[in-house]
Structure 1
């Protein structure tokens, strides 16, 4: 970008101006790791800002050399005060970016496609934004087809995206009514269900999890073909939502292998 300096190098003024124009309609990528993951999975990122480009590029060289060149070309440096005015809750890495949200139609096509090679996760009326983000991060890590929420929570809320570390772009994330859920055999997690350790979850399963407060809704329970329980010590009332999803996906992957394989841990 060209333009006069606004606390950073050449192009900063245009980058800040572009941010202000796009902020209301774009996905906020909060921090280096969110931007790194979004770039790895093909997100369109029209603007990215930092108050310390050298530090951001040093992180890239150490943790994400695969996107280092893209970050070098994309990041515009501005002063800390300007950045904090644009992103009040600035990430400790002092990096923020705006991305284009994936097409809803494209996500719905992915969710509805058959045969699937990995489950779809359904969060039934979740309430905690951080939990929803953690689930999306898990789903991306296991190669799940997508994450669907019912109810009022927006799965693309900035706090959810922050909790998901930018991995919304690695899986299909949408909000749907229960009647609109993707096809496939539905397995709903419930304390009264069959022990998951005795089941083989199919690749095209729809794995449904109730809300942190009230569990499965009657509508979702009616949609489910199978009720499944996780092993739990007596007198322990429940697991955290993201923990439950992680346990179920691990059980699935241990029997089938995750979509695309797991080449190994990566920051």
Structure 2
């Protein structure tokens, strides 16, 4: 961990939380407060009105680090609020000077009661924002593009929102092309975005069926597979991981070109999903692949 503890997302989503507030429609853009809007009373009502108008169709960026990453990876952020503008900009000076000017233009100061009305469980950094979800067509284009220089991670019917967010954060860190989920979990659920620290905007994140998986050889993680230590994973691999409870679905197993196993001590039943993804991506990078 390279940044202070506030970067760590809370993990109170529960083990079986799936499907949150539905799919997100693309809100109108350019509607946020202008750079001239400051922390005073004149800027506050515009920011709150903009928030209420766009909230139902936008991606919630919960906390400074989610906003920092979204801005860094060129997300469209119409509105951002904080209870302490000076503290947020000091945090930017310390941890994200590359986006400090952009955050100064975006952030509007609001009272704590207003922030709690907008976000019932505010992040400890007291920063929140709304962003436009990338278009599905654009993400599908990225996932389908060949040749591909980095893998795609597939979570087959995941159940835990926090795990999904952690995997997206890992994939972004390794420069993976994208993260695909199958099943009912919405990978853009606010808890997943919070767990991913806003790094959904650094990689292509979509929900697909097994039949819609991107091109490339499918390497599925399974205890009965070949030991990963004897393999070199290709850059265009589709790395598939089963659900926390039931492992690979029959559909994904039938689609797999290779079954791969991680080393594990006998009588230990399994690894955490995000840990398995981290080990696999590290193996890929250590045997020839390279983070972007």
- Give the structure-1-normalised TM-score: 0.95
Work out which of the residue numbers 207, 215, 225 in structure 2 matches 1:183: 215
Distance 1:84 1:131, change over 3 A: same
Partner residue of 2:203?
A: 171
Distance 1:161 1:256 in 2: 30
Deviations 1:163-196 (A, max 9, x none): 0000000000000000000010000000000000
The answer to whether the 8 A contact 1:210-1:216 is kept is yes
Work out which of the residue numbers 239, 251, 255 in structure 2 matches 1:219: 251
Partner residue of 1:159?
A: 191
Deviates more, 1:10-19 or 1:237-246: 10-19
Query: Which 5+ residue runs of structure 1 have no aligned equivalent?
Result: 261-267
Work out which of the residue numbers 172, 191, 201 in structure 2 matches 1:140: 172
Query: Which 5+ residue runs of structure 2 have no aligned equivalent?
Result: 1-32
The answer to whether the 8 A contact 2:80-2:107 is kept is yes
Per the alignment, in what secondary structure is the counterpart of residue 130 of structure 1?
A: helix
Distance 1:44 1:63 in 2: 21
The RMSD of aligned alpha carbons is 1.3
Count residues with an aligned counterpart.
258
Partner residue of 1:107?
A: 139
Partner residue of 2:127?
A: 95
Distance 1:151 1:258, change over 3 A: same
Shift of 1:8: 4.1
Q: Does 1:124 align with 2:156?
A: yes
- Give the structure-2-normalised TM-score: 0.87
Shift of 1:12: 1.3
Distance 1:9 1:226 in 2: 60
Partner residue of 1:229?
A: 261
Per the alignment, in what secondary structure is the counterpart of residue 222 of structure 1?
A: helix
Shift of 1:259: 4.0
Distance 1:6 1:139 in 2: 36
